[in-house]
Amino acid sequence: MSKELWKGIYPALLTPFTAEGAIDYDMFKKNLRAQTDAGVHGLILAGSLGEASTLSREEKFELLKVAKETVGDDYPVILNIAEQATREATAIAQQAEALGADGLMLLPPMRYKADTRETVEYFKAVAKSTSLPIMIYNNPIDYGIYVTVDMFAELAELPNIQAVKESSRDLTNITRMINRFGDRFKVLGGVDPISLESLMIGADGLVAGLVDAYPKETVAIYNHVQSGNYEEAVNIYRWFMPLLELDIHPKLVQYIKLAATNEGICNEHVRAPRLPLIGEERERVLKIIEESNVNRPTLAIDA
C-alpha cells in the first residue's frame, strides 16, 4: 500500500464506545482492519463521525497511537483538528506530529463564526506550527464557515496545506478548484450521496462515512471509476444510495454506527448528548439497512 496522500478512499472512522462510555479499542481495531482489508487508502481519526466533540485531547492522541500500532507505516493516518482556540489547535498539531501522524484534517474555528481574514489566519497559524500535510475541511452547512476559492488562493502560499475535503454540497466547487489551481490542491469529496458524481468530475478521492459499514462497496466504486468501468460503478452506487443518504442527517453518527453494527464491525454506543436510537426511528433505519442487504450487489473480483 502506497502512502501517497490525499488520493483514494479515506474513511472518517467511527469511535466505538463501551456501554460505560469508554473507548472500545478492540472494536476500533476490528473496524480499522475491515477498512484496510477492503483496500482503503488512508484513515481519518476524530472527525465528526468519530464524535470528536466528546473526545478529550488525550483520547484523540490514544486513538492515533492505537491506529499507528495497528496499521503500521503502510496507511496514512490523519488526525482531525476541530478546536475553538488557535493555541489549542496548534498544540494538537504539534503533538500529533510528535506521535507520528501522517497528516491533519483541519476545520475552521469552532463556535466562533470567524470572518474570512480570521479563518485564513487561523489556518495559516496551524500550518506554520507543523510540517505535517494538511487537508482543509470545507463544510459551511454544518460548521457555518465557507472556505471560498479566493481563500484557498491565500492559503496556497503554505506548501503543507495540500488538500480540501469538499463538503459544501456544491459539485461545481470541485471544478472551480481545479480550474483555479490545477493540481495544487487535492480535492476529496466529502458528501456520500454525491460521491460518485464527485469522482466523475475529477475529485482525487473521498472522505466517506458509509465506508465505515461498507468498505468493500465504497472501494469498489472508486476502483471502477479509476478503471473506466462506469456502468459497474453506477450499479453499485444506485444500490448504495438509500444507505449513503444516512450520511447527511443530524444523527449520522447513530445511523452509521447502526449500519456498522449490523455488519459486525461496530456497536451502537454513543456518548451524550447523543443517545442511541430507539423506537420508530431505529426501526426505520434498520429497515433501510435490511432492505439494502437483501439486494446487495456481488462485487467483481477486481473491483
pLDDT tens readout for residues 238-248? 999 999 999 99
- Give the pLDDT band (50/70/90) at residue 120: very high
The candidate with the shortest Cα–Cα distance to 137, out of 162, 89, 90, 105, is 105
Q: How far apart are CA 207 and CA 163, in angstroms?
A: 11
Under DSSP, is residue 39 helix (H, G, I), strand (E, B) or coil?
A: coil
Q: What percent of the chain has pLDDT over 70?
A: 98
Is the pLDDT confidence value at 301 over 70? no
pLDDT of residue 303: 53
Quick: pLDDT tens for 63-80: 999 999 999 988 999 999
Q: Predicted confidence band at 2 (pLDDT cuts at 50, 70, 90)?
A: very low
Please give the sequence-ordered ranges of beta strands (E in DSSP) within the chain, or none if there are none.
8-11, 43-45, 77-81, 103-106, 134-138, 161-166, 186-189, 205-208
DSSP 3-state of 60: helix
Summarize the confidence of residues 267-295 as an average pLDDT: 97
For residue 111, what pLDDT is reported? 86
Nearest to 186 by CA among 163, 207, 166: 163
Encode pLDDT of 189-238 as tens digits.
Answer: 999 999 999 999 999 999 999 999 999 999 999 999 999 999 999 999 99
Confidence class for position 118, pLDDT limits 50, 70, 90: very high
Determine which helix (DSSP H) or strand (DSSP E) holds 283, and give its type and residue range: helix 279-294
Report pLDDT digits (tens) over 121-153. 999 999 999 999 999 999 999 899 999 999 999
Q: Write down all domains in the chain, each with its CATH number in brackets.
A: 8-294 (3.20.20.70)
